[in-house]
């Protein structure tokens, strides 16, 4: 597995990380704890060194699974986790008060069975707490050795700049894929200017870009995609044009749509590290194949030209979650 460095931070990770959320949260019932631990350790065997979790996934149970799985090989991996929701529950709203950040850090260290958090993200920007106070608190945790790097998630350009001035931001985690390209407008240029790495979550469009989901796919009652507008039956049908485009490229390259989608992301910038998730070993191996698939300038130009003709239908978040996306007009 090739390695990449997140921005100017010096934090080296595998070119593709592993998004752990779906192991037991978000997309249905997930898999058993034993299966999840086995899969995470298999990912390390295949060269993955970057694992992403959060207290809110479960809540709390995902961190515990990751901690148990990676404890025997802790010195070989980079673990990212997150703070920012009241009591770790998204439904309760945001909470990035300094005292809460410290509480989360201590609890996460215990669940992750480690003495330091490699990358500590603010899960969502809390408009009631100045970002300078958030960055300052993480800066103190770094000085104490409990955290090594500071990250933000779904933050606007203004928030990124304010935070970075207090404590250098190692990475921004936000949604980015052929299914959602808004970061190209302002976020990517800002990150490049400041030397901040980018960690796209949902790099496969929450599974849509794999080609395994169409308008007839039945989603489980506890699958978060049931509440996402772009996953309504009508929008899945309309958005299938993008899947058809990727599938055509994949066929020409003797690859899969997922591999093309991931290779496209990796080709955008050398400091981009996607974190696809899965619950299946064959799918893990398939995803990692995206790191070795080379898309030529002609391939990329063809994708760009064809994608420009496709308009994605449906919002990427339901209204209840959209309110947690950082407002770029916030002062």
Q: Do the bridges between strand 169-175 and strand 147-153 make them parallel or antiparallel, or are there none, so unpaired?
A: parallel
For position 50, what pLDDT does the model report?
Answer: 98
Which residues face 102 on adjacent strands? none
Is 142:93 a contact under the CB 8 Å cutoff? Answer: no
Give 177's DSSP letter.
Answer: B
For position 230, what pLDDT does the model report?
Answer: 95
Architecture of domain 3-204+264-293: Alpha-Beta Barrel (3.20)
Q: Sign of dihedral through CA atoms 302, 190, 290, 240?
A: negative
For position 275, what pLDDT does the model report?
Answer: 98
Least Cα distance to 67 among 17, 117, 7 occurs for 117
For position 243, what pLDDT does the model report?
Answer: 94
Please state the pTM of the whole predicted model. Answer: 0.96
Residues carrying an active site annotation: 57
For position 331, what pLDDT does the model report?
Answer: 38
d(CA 189, CA 56): 30
Distances (CA, A) of 185 to 2, 31, 105, 189, 254: 28, 37, 33, 8, 32
- Write down the domain spans for the chain: 3-204+264-293
Is 161:195 a contact under the CB 8 Å cutoff? Answer: no
Least Cα distance to 145 among 176, 114, 168, 172 occurs for 114
For position 254, what pLDDT does the model report?
Answer: 97
- 10-residue mean pLDDT profile of the chain (331 residues): values are 96 98 93 98 98 97 98 98 97 97 98 98 98 98 98 98 98 97 97 98 95 90 92 94 95 97 98 98 98 96 94 91 78 38
- Coil vs helix vs strand at 172: strand
Which residues face 177 on adjacent strands? 180
d(CA 18, CA 275): 5
């Amino acid at each position: 597995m090739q390695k990449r460095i997140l921005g100017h931070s010096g934090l080296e990770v595998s070119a593709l990380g592993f998004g752990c959320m779906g192991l037991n949260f978000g997309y249905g019932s997930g898999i058993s704890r034993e299966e999840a631990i086995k899969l995470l350790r298999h990912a390390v065997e295949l060269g993955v060194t970057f694992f992403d979790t959060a207290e809110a996934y479960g809540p709390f149970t995902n961190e515990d699974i990751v901690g148990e799985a990676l404890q025997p090989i802790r010195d070989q991996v980079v673990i990212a986790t997150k703070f920012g929701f009241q009591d770790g529950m998204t439904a309760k709203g945001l909470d990035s008060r300094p005292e809460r950040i410290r509480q989360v850090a201590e609890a996460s260290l215990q669940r992750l069975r480690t003495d330091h958090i490699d990358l500590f993200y603010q899960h969502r920007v809390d408009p009631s707490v100045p970002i300078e106070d958030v960055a300052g608190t993480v800066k103190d945790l770094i000085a104490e050795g409990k955290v090594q790097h500071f990250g933000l998630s779904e933050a606007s350009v203004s928030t990124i700049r304010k935070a970075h001035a207090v404590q250098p931001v190692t990475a921004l985690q936000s949604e980015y894929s052929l299914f959602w390209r808004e970061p190209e407008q302002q976020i990517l240029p800002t990150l490049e200017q400041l030397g901040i790495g980018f960690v796209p979550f949902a790099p496969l469009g929450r599974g849509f870009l794999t080609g395994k989901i169409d308008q007839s796919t039945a989603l489980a009652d506890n699958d978060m995609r049931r509440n996402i507008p772009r996953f309504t039956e009508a929008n899945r049908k309309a958005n299938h044009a993008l899947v058809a485009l990727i599938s055509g490229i994949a066929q020409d390259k003797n690859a899969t749509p997922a591999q093309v989608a991931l290779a496209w992301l990796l080709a955008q910038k050398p400091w981009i590290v996607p974190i696809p998730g899965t619950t299946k070993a064959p799918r893990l191996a398939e995803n990692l194949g995206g790191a070795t698939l080379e898309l030529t300038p002609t391939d990329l130009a063809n994708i760009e030209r064809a994608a420009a003709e496709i308009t994605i239908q449906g919002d990427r978040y339901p209204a209840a979650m959209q309110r947690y996306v950082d407002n770029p007009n916030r002062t």
